[in-house]
Structure 1
Amino acid sequence: MIGKLEMFIALAHERHFGRAAESLGITQPTLSTGIRQLEEQLGVKLVQRGSRFGGLTPEGQRALVWARQIVGDARRLRDEMRARREGLSGNLRLAVIPTALTWAARLAHRFQRRHPNVDFTILSRPSNEILTLLEDLEIDAGISYLDNEPLGRVSTQELYRERYALLCQPDHPLAGRAALDWAEIGTTQLCLLTPDMQNRRIVNRHLMEAGLSPRIGTTSNSTVVLASLVAAGGWATILPTGLAAYLAEGHGLSHIPIGPADPGHAVGLVAAHQKPHTPVLQSLLAEARSLSERDDA
């Protein structure tokens, strides 16, 4: 039953029989047979079928809620028993907003020093995808904004407060400043993250409130691309202060904090709300709390 429920969850996520089968590493006929057998066991039609996937039936939508809960509980049971038998081990899957990837690396490094049998898979994803991935059981946790969009029923642990800096060449007219106001960015030619990124929406709001409409010549969903453009010359970008400092050091660039100072936007670890959490996930939340406290010290 658990295996068939996992097939059903994958199909609901991919909305395509071929892609769902590929994601599970099985053939499409095997997936189709598993879904039919699940429908027979439950006594209802779950999937609208035609020449292609036609969506879930109303019964299928309700069954999906139960399927996620049952499969999630089964995985937590398996992980807890393995932890009791072997200690903390396995693979933790994290989806992380691009501007927090350096924090994800710090968290994984600290965690693995304590628990060397736990591996990490770290994926870069926009914030609006992270909650969906959690809900679909595609990841174990994420690092995202905590206070800018509705999160629903999740467990959270703040890591840091996001504030911003201008990343530019050392010969840029603003490079010698100790700090900047948003209005001083003026007509600076910028390259920024793509509009689907929450960081970009926050930056847009600050620019708009300062009465600015700067030319944004290039956008990318990669902060590495933005830093490379700045290093090539003629561009500047706006990134969180910690990330800007990290990229500046590696490329010989300047970074200037942008004010006025405010509380910033909370960024932290998010995980599905569970009682209890698995030992691995509980330890990850504790490590995130320790990392946050150390950074604040």
Structure 2
Amino acid sequence: MIDKLEMFLAVAKEGHFGRAAQSLGITQPTLSAGIKNLEEQLGVLLIFRGSRYGGLTPEGQSALIWARRIVGDTRQLRDEMRTRRHGLSGRLRIAVIPTALTWAARISARFGRAHPNVGFTILSRTSVEILQMIDDLQIDAGISYLDNEPLGKVSTVPLYDERYMLVCEAGSDLAAQGRASWADLDGQRLCLLTSDMQNRRIINRNLAEAGVTPQATVESSSTVVLVSHVLEGGWVTILPEDIAGFLAQGKPVSLIPLDQPETTHAVGLVAPWREPHTPVLEALLTEARRMVVDR
């Protein structure tokens, strides 16, 4: 039944039989037959369908919760048995907010030195997408905000508190100030992350509290695009200190500390709430805690 539950999860995620079959590497007739077989075993209709996918039935919505739990437990069992045979091995899938990608690199590099048989797949995603991907069993963990918007029931390891930097052209009037307030950004030509990013929502709130109406002439989901616009001239951007320092290194831009808002926000590792965690994920959480202590 596990393979049929995997098919069901794929269809629920993709909302399309063809894409679900492609994601599993099987044909659409095989997928359709598997879903039908699962429905026969459970004695209920799980998916509304005519000529195309029509969504989950009420029974399908309930079954989705069970399917995630059963498939998650099965994967955990396989991981634990593999660890008993071969030690820590496999691949960790992590989704990360764009402003924390440098931290993802630190964690994966440090973990890889200690556990060379574990590989990483690191994806850049929004905070909302990260939580959904954890629920859908698409990733093993994420790096996201911990205390700004609801997380639900997850395990967390705080890594750092965001400190914001203004990134501007070297030699500009803002660069000459040496320090800036959020109010100083009134009327500036801003390039910022897109509004689906939690970082952008935090920045908008900080600007609003300073009496500034945020007007970004350029928006992007990529921090590289933001700094590239600063290099082209005429734009300024706001980024957390760590990613700003990494992207500005060796470039003719200045990093100006911004007055810290009254409320700062923690960023950290986020993992499914599961006791116990898989051996590999538990080792990742432990390594993250050690890294924070060492820093």
- Calculate the TM-score normalised by the size of structure 2: 0.97
Give 2:5's aligned amino acid: L
**1:182 alignment counterpart:** 182
**1:213 alignment counterpart:** 213
Question: Does 2:251 align with 1:279?
Answer: no
Deviations 1:168-190 (A, max 9, x none): 11112111333221112222211
**1:36 alignment counterpart:** 36
SS at match of 1:134: helix
Q: Take 1:262 and 1:30, find their aligned partners in 2: how far apart are those partners?
A: 56
Q: Is the 8 A contact 2:146 2:158 kept in 1?
A: yes
Q: Is the 8 A contact 1:161 1:263 kept in 2?
A: no
SS at match of 2:218: strand
SS at match of 1:176: helix
**2:151 alignment counterpart:** 151
1:1-297 correspondence to structure 2 within 5 Å: 1-260=1-260, 262=262, 264-295=264-295
| Post-superposition offset of 1:274 | 0.6
Deviations 1:31-50 (A, max 9, x none): 10000000111111111111
Farther-moved stretch of structure 1 (17-26 vs 286-295): 286-295
| Post-superposition offset of 1:193 | 0.4
Q: Take 2:167 and 2:241, find their aligned partners in 1: how far apart are those partners?
A: 9
Q: Take 2:2 and 2:211, find their aligned partners in 1: how far apart are those partners?
A: 55
Q: Is the 8 A contact 2:141 2:270 kept in 1?
A: yes
Q: Is the 8 A contact 1:192 1:219 kept in 2?
A: yes
SS at match of 1:93: strand
Q: Take 2:33 and 2:87, find their aligned partners in 1: how far apart are those partners?
A: 37
Q: Take 2:260 and 2:102, find their aligned partners in 1: how far apart are those partners?
A: 25
Q: Take 1:88 and 1:250, find their aligned partners in 2: how far apart are those partners?
A: 38
Distance change >3 Å, CA 131–CA 291, structure 1 → 2: same
Q: Is the 8 A contact 2:182 2:207 kept in 1?
A: yes
Q: Is the 8 A contact 2:163 2:260 kept in 1?
A: no
Q: Is the 8 A contact 2:204 2:214 kept in 1?
A: no
Identity level (%): 64
Farther-moved stretch of structure 1 (16-25 vs 214-223): 214-223
Name structure 2 gaps, 5 residues minimum.
Answer: none
Q: Which of structure 1's runs of 4+ aligned residues deviate more than 3 A?
A: 260-263
Q: Take 2:230 and 2:89, find their aligned partners in 1: how far apart are those partners?
A: 41
Q: Is the 8 A contact 2:16 2:53 kept in 1?
A: yes
Q: Is the 8 A contact 2:192 2:220 kept in 1?
A: yes
SS at match of 1:155: strand
SS at match of 1:36: helix
C-alpha root-mean-square deviation of aligned residues, in Å?
1.1
Matched residue count: 295
Give 1:161's aligned amino acid: D
Q: Is the 8 A contact 2:167 2:239 kept in 1?
A: yes
Q: Is the 8 A contact 1:189 1:214 kept in 2?
A: no
Distance change >3 Å, CA 18–CA 227, structure 1 → 2: same
| Post-superposition offset of 1:260 | 3.4
| Post-superposition offset of 1:68 | 0.3
Q: Is the 8 A contact 1:188 1:214 kept in 2?
A: no
Q: Take 1:156 and 1:10, find their aligned partners in 2: how far apart are those partners?
A: 27
Q: Take 1:261 and 1:44, find their aligned partners in 2: how far apart are those partners?
A: 53
Distance change >3 Å, CA 215–CA 33, structure 1 → 2: same
Q: Take 2:195 and 2:162, find their aligned partners in 1: how far apart are those partners?
A: 18
Distance change >3 Å, CA 294–CA 179, structure 1 → 2: farther
